[in-house]
Amino acid sequence: MSRGAPEYQHVYVHVPFCSRRCSYCDFSIAVRRDVPVEAYVKSILVEFDIRHSGADFGDVKTLYLGGGTPSKLGPAGVVNLIGRLTSDGVALATGAEVTIEANPEDITQEAATAWLSAGVNRLSVGIQSFDDEALAWMHRTHTADQASGGFRAARQAGFGDISLDLIYALPARLGRVWEADLDRAIELEPDHMSVYGLTVEPRTPLGKWTARGAEFRQTDDKAAEEFLHADRVLRAAGFDHYEVSSYARPGKRSRHNSAYWNRVPYMGLGPSAHSFDGASRRWNVSALTGWEAALAHGDDPVDGTEYLTPEQHAAETTYLELRTDGGAAFKAAANAARAVRWVDEGWATADGSRTRLTAEGWLRLDALVASVDPE
């Protein structure tokens, strides 16, 4: 252990495997019919051993398996990965939050029971919509009925903390009724919901459809209307809107994601995974094959490192604070004056020294942050 090394209490593991690339997805994934579970787990352990030699691990408070589709590892694969990581040095604190992302079609009572036995206590389920036509357009591999069935199977197995993902601002021609999707999600009584606006990335199928005029994105006004409707409906159903895209019932906020927003050091393992030590950020080789090749030679699979200047640190802190309900405390007179205007416009509220954005303000998050002077 190196002197002065950061104490990592949050660990992210990127599991890149998917059955199919979703139409909007530009994440680092590997489409595989047969997932090479054992080879992948061995590579994760090699990377951890390379990285662990210079890291200090206290009791790990959160472990998050994201992707990709971690549930594609199968029940035994998830048990194997978590078991070998914890025996290799990821010592989980009592009550640690252990999350895996799962697709609905992978969730059975058998799988959920196996995940629970491995220490998983939180599921993040990528439902995205309950409209079968919209799901087919998104290249999702589940149906609306499978979405509801997977959720219920997880509950019956004993999961008491389940998050659902939904996507708003789908093209109008699909006829998806956003209000109906929200109602069906609320009927399942999830503990947490993540609500994301559809984005058009150039290298995705959706980006290519849009570039050639075969698809048209939702209007900004309609997207804003759907975002604000979600805010009203979910808050009325008892959820706290605690981050621009995140809603939670009391006591069910994502502790892992909150660590990112609070700039706490975290370690990322796997292709494209990012890490942060409090002063610098690093990221791994994105492609699975390149990541594996580096590890096969005993090399750290790092692809780049960014050392934050004081100005970058301050700007990032402001952005992260304003995207959560904790808000920001402005010291500079010009920023305090801006905050007064935001309150007058209905974009923020003021509580003592802190300025907290409203849902209307979160619609303008990037522009508002860009207007803030460095402090």
27 lies in the same domain as 102: yes
> What total number of domains does the chain contain?
2
Among 236, 261, 286, residue at a domain's last position: 261
Strand 56-67 and strand 92-102: the pairing is parallel
Q: Which domain holds residue 324?
A: 310-370
CB atoms within 10 A of CB 18: 21
Among 191, 226, 261, residue at a domain's last position: 261
Beta bridge partners of 14: 66
49 lies in the same domain as 198: yes
Please give the angle made by the CA atoms of 7, 12 and 14, to the nearest 5 degrees: 150
Calculate the alpha carbon distances from 13 to 56, 70, 87, 170 in Å: 17, 9, 16, 29
250 lies in the same domain as 334: no
Tell me if 218 is assigned to some domain. yes
Q: Say how far apart CA 181 and CA 183 lie, in whole Å.
A: 5
CATH of the domain at 61: 3.20.20.70
61: enclosing H helix or E strand? strand 56-67
Q: Say how far apart CA 241 and CA 47 lie, in whole Å.
A: 36
Write out the two tokens for 263.
């700039």
Q: Is the pTM of this model over 0.85?
A: yes
Q: Say how far apart CA 299 and CA 47 lie, in whole Å.
A: 8
Tell me if 280 is assigned to some domain. no
183 lies in the same domain as 317: no
63 lies in the same domain as 181: yes
Q: How far apart are the first and last CA of the chain?
A: 35
162 lies in the same domain as 256: yes
Contacts of 202 (CB under 8 A, 6+ apart): 211
120 lies in the same domain as 22: yes
Beta bridge partners of 16: none
Of 15, 11, 4, nearest to 89 (Cα)?
A: 11
CB atoms within 10 A of CB 258: 19
Of 118, 187, 110, nearest to 153 (Cα)?
A: 110
**Alpha carbons within 13 A on the beta-carbon side of 169:** 19
Q: What is the pLDDT of residue 375?
A: 84
Strand, coil or helix: 257: helix
What are the pLDDT tens digits along the chain (375 aa)? 344 566 899 999 999 999 999 999 999 999 998 999 999 999 999 999 998 876 777 799 999 999 999 999 999 999 999 999 999 889 999 999 999 999 999 999 999 999 999 999 999 999 999 999 999 999 999 999 999 999 999 999 999 999 999 999 999 999 999 999 999 999 999 999 999 999 999 999 999 999 999 999 899 999 999 999 999 999 999 999 999 999 999 999 999 999 999 999 999 999 999 999 999 999 999 999 999 999 999 999 999 999 999 999 999 999 999 999 999 999 999 999 999 999 999 999 998 889 999 999 999 999 999 999 988
Backbone φ/ψ region at 9: left (φ over 0), alpha (ψ -120 to 50), beta:
alpha
